[in-house]
Structure 1
Amino acid sequence: MCRHLVYLGPPVTLREVLFDPPYSLLRQSWAPRDMRGGGTINADGFGVGWYPGDGPPVRYRRAQPIWSDPTIADLAAVTSTTAVLAAVRSATVGMAVIDGAAAPFTEGRWLFSHNGVVRGWPDSMVPLAAELPVRDLLTLDATTDSALLWALVRHRLRAGVAPEQAVAETVTRVAAAAPGSRLNLLLTDGHTAVATTVGHALSLRTTPASVLLASEPHDDEPGWREVPDGQLVRATATTVRQRALAGPCTTGTNRQASPKGSR
């Protein structure tokens, strides 16, 4: 399992998001509070992607624990952004521990992360992988379930499928092919974020001008709301909508998140 987050809102430094909170992503790398499904730490790599302006995101990722890399701490202190996606990784046994296996994955304006595991890997994914262009399979960032999930989502995005639909279709089909998988996905283009909850935790906190989606709350302040299992969330800095996923992912009922600023 892993820990990940996405922030959209007024400019903040990466340090404010990744390092300063009492239960920040840094702390979650060595002392997570909600590692359901196995694992105790997230020390098999990390990655951060942020948007310096209107262009594509900048990405920094390594195969080492985030606490052991002084570069990201220095970089975070002086880098400001209105959108960031970051993750710390706990590798599934047998999967590669290399820079390319760490989220976020990216193409164009997109950043993507997966918190969870695909059951029966790799055999359960053979039929879905066969639907991808051969070149996509030959150029995966890593031979991991998360990299393949990104390839499946990206294939739909390239075909013009809306982000919500691309994520929902991928999660539904993978859940059907590999029952019991944990499929918490995050996708953002710097303006909109799409998230799913399938088998793992996700919390949401809003202000009138920002939204933060995270595997677990990074402090004990009021305003955090847990997203139920089997949900898809679409958020901008000022709006949040939530609905149930279809098919084998559905474990809850249709619902819409409270308006921004309400709790």
Structure 2
Amino acid sequence: MCRHLAYLGPPRPLAELLTDPAHSLYEQSYAPAHAPQQAEAPTVNADGFGIGWYPPGNGAGPVRYRRSVPIWADANLPGLAAVIHSGAVLAAVRAATPGTSHDEAASAPFALGRWLFSHNGSVPRWELLPADTDEPLTAAELLGMEARSDSALLCAMTARRLAVGRPLGEALADVVRRTTTARPTARLNLLMTDGHAIAATRHGNSLWYRAVSDEITVASEPAPDEPGWREVPDHSLLLATTRTTEIEPL
């Protein structure tokens, strides 16, 4: 199932975004509240986690910290999250799709230059997806995939579209449309940021956003103690910066 979050705004400690809030991403790893429609019960997201952030002030990044263990099992994370600050973050906790690899390279976020990419969902028979969508990957694209997983494959499909100059929202929407044509039961919540803008799709799993003052947060599930959360309709594309938020049908 996975759960993910992206934030743009004033630099904050990672702990304030990922571990401290009520029903934080940390808590969603073992107690998610919004199960997919196809699932009978919530899934524990214990197959790894990852955090990507852009260091403030110098234009560097993104920097990633990824592990193949549950987020609650990493004894280093509380100390790191307390001292690392950023105004642009993408993080995820993972529940692996059957047949995918389990090393830390399979944990989002994946990197495409300055872009960070995450997938919340699952694609049945993902290994056959390129052939079934008439979109065979080149040897270079296959070798460039960070992991053997549906999420890494979707990232490679998105990269192909960005490489020929397609706008981010259009690229994500096209990947969702082509994938669901071949795999109608696929769940495809895609999330990307370059540290300046966020793009996200909702297709099958929950997605929320909170735009207040000069910050925007997009997350699989809202923090109940923070006012202003709004649910993104299913089958929608969200495009956001710290100043604007747009939602349109996929």
TM-score scaled by structure 1? Answer: 0.89
Aligned to 1:226: 231
Any idea what SS the aligned residue of 1:122 has?
Answer: helix
Aligned to 1:93: 98
Q: Is the 8 A contact 1:184 1:200 kept in 2?
A: yes
Map Cα deviations across residues 187-215 of structure 1 (whole Å, 9 max, x no partner): 11000000000011001111021111100
How far apart are residue 130 of structure 1 and its match? 4.5
Aligned to 1:50: 53
- Alpha-carbon distance in 2 for matches of 1:51, 1:121: 31
Query: Larger relative CO (CA 8 A, sep 6+): 1 or 2?
Result: 2
Map Cα deviations across residues 139-159 of structure 1 (whole Å, 9 max, x no partner): 311111000000000111122
- Alpha-carbon distance in 1 for matches of 2:23, 2:134: 37
Q: Is the 8 A contact 1:125 1:177 kept in 2?
A: no
Of the structure 1 ranges 44-53 and 212-221, higher mean CA displacement relative to structure 2 is found in 212-221
Map Cα deviations across residues 21-47 of structure 1 (whole Å, 9 max, x no partner): 010111111111112233521000000
Aligned to 1:41: 44
How far apart are residue 128 of structure 1 and its match? 4.1
Map Cα deviations across residues 67-103 of structure 1 (whole Å, 9 max, x no partner): 1112222111001111100000011222221101100
Aligned to 1:174: 179
Computed over aligned residues only, the root mean square deviation of the Cα atoms, in angstroms, reads 1.4
Aligned to 1:260: none
Of the structure 1 ranges 164-173 and 195-204, higher mean CA displacement relative to structure 2 is found in 164-173
**Sequence identity of aligned pairs in percent?**
50
Q: Is the 8 A contact 2:120 2:189 kept in 1?
A: yes
Any idea what SS the aligned residue of 1:205 has?
Answer: strand
Q: Is the 8 A contact 2:216 2:242 kept in 1?
A: yes
Match of 1:161 among 146, 160, 166: 166
- Alpha-carbon distance in 2 for matches of 1:186, 1:82: 17
Provide runs of 4+ in structure 1 moved above 6 Å: none
The aligned length equals 245
- 1:1-263 matches, within 5 Å, as 1-36=1-36, 37-38=38-39, 39-53=42-56, 54-128=59-133, 130-245=135-250
How far apart are residue 234 of structure 1 and its match? 0.3
User: Which ranges in structure 2 are unaligned for 5 or more consecutive residues?
Assistant: none
Q: Is the 8 A contact 1:85 1:111 kept in 2?
A: yes
Q: Is the 8 A contact 2:99 2:149 kept in 1?
A: no
How far apart are residue 125 of structure 1 and its match? 3.6
Aligned residue type for 1:104: P
Of the structure 1 ranges 115-124 and 151-160, higher mean CA displacement relative to structure 2 is found in 115-124
User: Which ranges in structure 1 are unaligned for 5 or more consecutive residues?
Assistant: 246-263
